[in-house]
Amino acid sequence: MKARLPQGYGSGGPSNIQQLAKQAQKMQAQMEATTAELEATEYEAAAGGGAVKVIATGKMEVKSIEISQDVVDPEDVEMLSDLVLAAVNEALRSAAQDKEQKMEAISGGLGNIPGLF
């Protein structure tokens, strides 16, 4: 007994797989280029009305922290810590969100499949 394939599946099987592999390679190359671009991008965030400014990279590394002298109060170090923490988290959140959006645009949602990319 011969197995039958649904209509349209019998022609060009290997070429379809090759085409799919080429598309996957192209998508992976785009993702690698975008990742390199994102890692070089700097994200700036501020807290306390600009009293604390943080620059982070797309590699999720903090590059610099600027603190206005106006908020340096030896009696209230906790407030300064909170401002620094808020600015750092916002800069990292911006970097992560940008990466997610750009990768989603390339993969069309396929990036959510574990082990695919």
The stretch 69-87 carries a mean pLDDT of: 91
The structural domains of the chain, ordered by start, are 35-104 (3.30.1310.10)
pLDDT band of residue 71 (cuts 50, 70, 90) is: confident
Is 90 exceeded by the pLDDT of residue 51?
A: yes
* Residues contacting residue 56 through CB under 8 Å, at least 6 positions apart: 42, 43, 45, 62, 63, 88, 91, 92, 94, 95
Is 60 exceeded by the pLDDT of residue 112?
A: no
pLDDT band of residue 103 (cuts 50, 70, 90) is: confident
More confident of the two residues 43 and 20: 43
Nearest to 107 by CA among 27, 45, 4, 47: 27
pLDDT band of residue 111 (cuts 50, 70, 90) is: low
Is 80 exceeded by the pLDDT of residue 2?
A: no
The 3-state secondary structure of the chain reads CCCCCCCCCCCCHHHHHHHHHHHHHHHHHHHHHHHHHHHHCEEEEEECCCCEEEEEECCCCEEEEEECHHHCCCCCHHHHHHHHHHHHHHHHHHHHHHHHHHHHHHHCCHHHCCCCC
Number of other CB atoms surrounding residue 95 within 10 Å: 22
* pLDDT at 6 (0 to 100): 60
Pick the range with the lowest mean pLDDT from 9-18, 21-30, 37-46. Answer: 9-18
* pLDDT at 13 (0 to 100): 58
